[in-house]
Amino acid sequence: MKSKIELTWLEVRKRAAVIHDQLKEKFGNNLFSIYGIPRGGWMAAMLVKEVAIHRGCQNITFSRIPELASVCIDDIVDSGATRTRYGGKPFYALVDKPAEGINQFVIFPWETDEKEGPTENVRRLIEFIGDDPNREGLKETPDRVIRSYKELFSGYGQKPEDVIKVFEDGACDEMVIARGIEFVSFCEHHMLPFLGTAHIAYIPNGKVIGVSKLVRLLEIYARRLQIQERLCQQVTKSLDDHLKPKGSACILTAKHLCMSCRGVGKQRSEMVTSSLTGVFREQGNMARQELLSMIR
């Protein structure tokens, strides 16, 4: 699946025509007004008006005040928060991601640079917190943020099978463990980092992988918006799916900045989570005891 969808002018005009058809069905030849949601909705509203003019329809006017408009038009429905905010009005959009089942980032043709939309959002966030995005120290910050996000969240563009290479030659039946792996991930609730160490282990069942692949497997899932509990489970599930081991384990210890630099403000607190499968789940099992003794 592509990480982004780039719409052409022809495609957005076709979508604008669909909206005009819906408005025509709703209002007929009666006069009505449309309000374009700032910012992308302005362009969407103009495209709908353009289609109306081309078809010889003169019953659409623009409204600068949403409360006085007959309908609201936006370029995209993503989470649905904007539509909810204007919930009292009929709401139309060129792209409705939930309704169309779209999970990718959508780029409209007026966003000439694929980074224009995201970088503009960073600029607006800088303004929101009270600083000036045009001052010297911040002029290039939006570009830097987007470049860093591409690296920090690169896990979305990778799959476990991209890094896992299985070997049968040399497979053993003793525990394999990669201990003390440093990792950084981002809390999906506040988009703040949590960082710490990971211990990943498995007991082969005729197949092994290179030890560096355990680290790479962790990185795939860590470089996504996460919760620590799920991160553990994703690692062990991937090991179980690709190696079919006798058991797999992932234990994470991490500090969460959403706890230390905001909220409860506890600087030294750590969170420990684990995911154990197969023989590691069996209470009193020697493999479980050996694992715990080796990571201490």
Q: Strands (DSSP E) along the chain, which ranges?
A: 4-6, 32-36, 60-62, 71-77, 91-96, 105-107, 166-167, 176-187, 193-203, 208-209, 225-226, 247-256, 271-276
Which of 104, 140, 189, 282 is flagged as catalytic?
Answer: 189
Give the whole-angstrom CA distance, residue 250 versus residue 237. Answer: 10
Burial class of 262 by CB neighbour count within 10 A (0 to 12, 13 to 18, 19+): exposed
CA atoms within 13 A on the CB side of 203: 16
Measured between alpha carbons, how far apart are the two ends of the chain, in Å? Answer: 41
Q: Which residues lie closer than 8 Å to 257 by C-beta, 6 or more apart?
A: 187, 192, 193, 194
- 256 catalytic? Reply is yes
Catalytic annotation present for 232: no
Residue 154 DSSP symbol: G
190 flagged as catalytic: yes
Among 188, 229, 282, 289, the active-site one is 188
Q: 72, 232, 234, 256: which is the annotated catalytic residue?
A: 256
Cα angle 234, 235, 239; round to 5: 115
Residue of 116, 219, 242, 258 with catalytic role: 258
**Which residue among 72, 187, 232, 250 is the active-site one?**
187
Question: Angle at the Cα of 82 (from 76 to 88), degrees rounded to 5?
Answer: 115
In the annotation, is 20 catalytic? no
Query: Which residue of the set 22, 190, 242, 270 is catalytic?
Result: 190
Asked if 57 is an active-site residue, the reply is: no
Q: Which of 228, 232, 234, 250 is catalytic?
A: 228
Residues that are catalytic? 187-190, 228, 256, 258
